[in-house]
Amino acid sequence: MKYVLVTGGVVSGLGKGVTASSIGLILKACGLRVTSIKIDPYLNTDAGTMSPFEHGEVFVLDDGGEVDLDLGNYERFLDIKLTRDNNITTGKIYQASSVIDRERKGDYLGRTVQVVPHITDAIQEWIERVAAIPVDGKEGRPDVCVIELGGTIGDIESMPFIEALGQFSYRVGAGNFCLIHVSLVPVLSVVGEQKTKPTQHSVRGLRSMGLMPNILACRSTTELDENVKEKLSRFCHVPAENIITLYDVSNIWRVPLLLRDQKAHEAILKVLNLLGVAQKPALGEWTSRAKLCDMLNEPVRIAMVGKYTGLSDSYLSVLKALLHASVACHRKLFIDWVPASDLEDATAEENPDGYKAAWSFLRGADAVLVPGGFGDRGVEGKIIAANYARQNKIPYLGICLGMQIAVIEFARSVLGMQDANSTEFDPYTQNPCVIFMPEGSKTHMGGTMRLGSRRTYFQVSDCKSAKLYGNKSFIDERHRHRYEVNPDMVEQLENSGLCFTGKDESGQRMEIVELRNHPYFIGVQFHPEFKSRPGKPSALFLGLIAAACGQLDALLKKGGTTKAYGLSNGTSPHRYGNTIKP
């Protein structure tokens, strides 16, 4: 087994996750089987109870694991399916590895239980165990495990992991362990000079903890000068050919190509003694996609009506799914962020400029998307957005809460139930369209939702969602919710024109809702964004973008599938705004 460790220094947010994903991709393109592990040193057991403003979105895996968003990058880049054990946290090590329980049972035979060796041994055992699990659907162990250590070198909470990884590198041997350190080489605007001192200090700190970098991946605005590489090589004890520049590129899909062009794969394979085994990286389709993304000019504009619009990472998988679909439809994606509360009447008095801007974005959109969320802030604004899309025949996709919002809006506007609501927001409503799931917990937050991959059965074949999924009888998608559409109100809603086209195996849990007399109005209880991939966009996101740019009929005639970039020549109004880069 070969291991590639990716660490970061100087500052956070350098792009270690994208770098680790790109390294995994390029090794996979060399014919190797790759798996990934993300280490998050925080004390939380998982990311499930963390605010999106605190740590970005919570990514959900097939097995119900609520994990760091970087595992989403790994899955998208490598087209693999990870498990909750591929995300290690300090909380998991202390809890799930049973070090504390074993001490209470007396398993350590009276010895003092310490961070070293007991916790560090537990970390190493976890890495070895999980690295051997295949994640690509094939039998047998992977060839390489890419491990990303979260945070930056010098963080107190990372110390046990750094010590464990130092021991681990010695244990597995030099030819089986490659350390790639991602660091910052800033360019001071005053003198325009690339400064190496931050990286020198970062590497010195890394070496003082027992880890020696084999490769330096230097983030900078421009390509490193040769004299800068030589200086880094001299002071960091890394060969100049093993110093790679990760400079700013036009889109994220160019990062693996950047690594390939600088022969990063050869440096990694040399350290791991795999040069004679691996092939040249085959990245033809990936290269074509990256080039196409840069060439797109025809716009498609999506209004994202949400609660956490102040931080785009809160909806990272949604953004990626929209990007995958827009590239497949040959459209340049533009996102207009609409804070849901800004659409409400109260904002018109408190913040008239924000109210005006929000409505301008909504009215100028080719499609409306309401993503998932928790809490009552902005709910009325989301209901207003669903009402606007329904009445004005604007393509609409509601995800999780976005589906529940669509049902509440329909009950209020069409059935005349003015107090229709979710018991999450109004426990005493006389018309509870959305209710708490019976199996949920109201006392414990972490890991108590309906999580992971669940099966949805189509109730009718003649509906947009079934056609978009290729006329399958059922689908498996990932869930994360504790409220659901009230099954006692389904018949009344359906008699008024709302169609629940997808349900669970019991037929009592609503999974997909549609409006038949609408160009594209779909709500889903699950999260289709988590399984979207470059070149294989999520069916419902593809349908939304196709509807927004006049390609939906052509897509449905193809059975909801498209070869890479196979759709073209739809029309969409030319509008201008800030683009969202992939």
Q: Which residues are catalytic?
A: 400, 527, 529
**Closest of 346, 165, 297 to residue 574, by C-alpha:** 297
How far apart are alpha carbons 264 and 577 in whole angstroms? 36
* Amino acid sitting at position 370: V
Axis-axis angle for helices 352-363, 379-391 (nearest 10): 40
- Identify the bridge partners of residue 285 per DSSP, sorted by sequence position: none
For the record, the structure tokens of 367 come out as 């499609």
Euclidean distance between CA atoms 21 and 254, whole angstroms: 12
**CA-CA distances (angstroms) from residue 32 to 127, 143, 299, 423, 555?**
19, 6, 38, 50, 35
For helices 284-295 and 316-328, angle between their N-to-C axes, nearest 10 degrees = 90
Q: Give the helix/strand (H/E) hosting 515.
A: strand 510-515
Long-range contacts of 23-26 (CB under 8 A, 24+ apart): 23/146, 23/180, 23/259, 23/264, 23/268, 24/74, 24/77, 24/78, 24/144, 24/146, 25/77, 25/78, 25/256, 25/283, 25/286, 26/256, 26/259, 26/260, 26/264, 26/265, 26/281, 26/283
Rounded CA-CA distance 157/160 in Å is 7
**Which run of H or E residues covers position 201?**
helix 197-208
Type of residue numbered 49: T
Euclidean distance between CA atoms 335 and 575, whole angstroms: 12
Residue 85, C-beta contacts closer than 8 angstroms, at least 6 positions apart: 65, 126, 129, 130, 133
Short-list 580, 550, 56, 527, CA closest to 323? 580
| CA 87 to each of CA 29, 35, 508: distance values in angstroms, whole numbers, following the listed order | 24, 12, 33
Which two tokens mark 368? 């409306």
User: Residue 150, SS3?
Assistant: coil
Q: Distance between CA atoms of 532 and 541, rounded to whole angstroms?
A: 9
**Distance in angstroms (rounded) separating the CA atoms of residues 162 and 158:** 6
Q: 35 to each of 290, 483, 513, 559, how far by Cα in Å? A: 23, 34, 36, 33
Here the tokens at position 173 are 């041997």
- Which residues make Cβ contacts (< 8 Å) with residue 110, sequence separation at least 6? none
Report the alpha-carbon distance of residue 63 to residue 453 in Å, rounded. Answer: 7
Amino acid at site 456: T
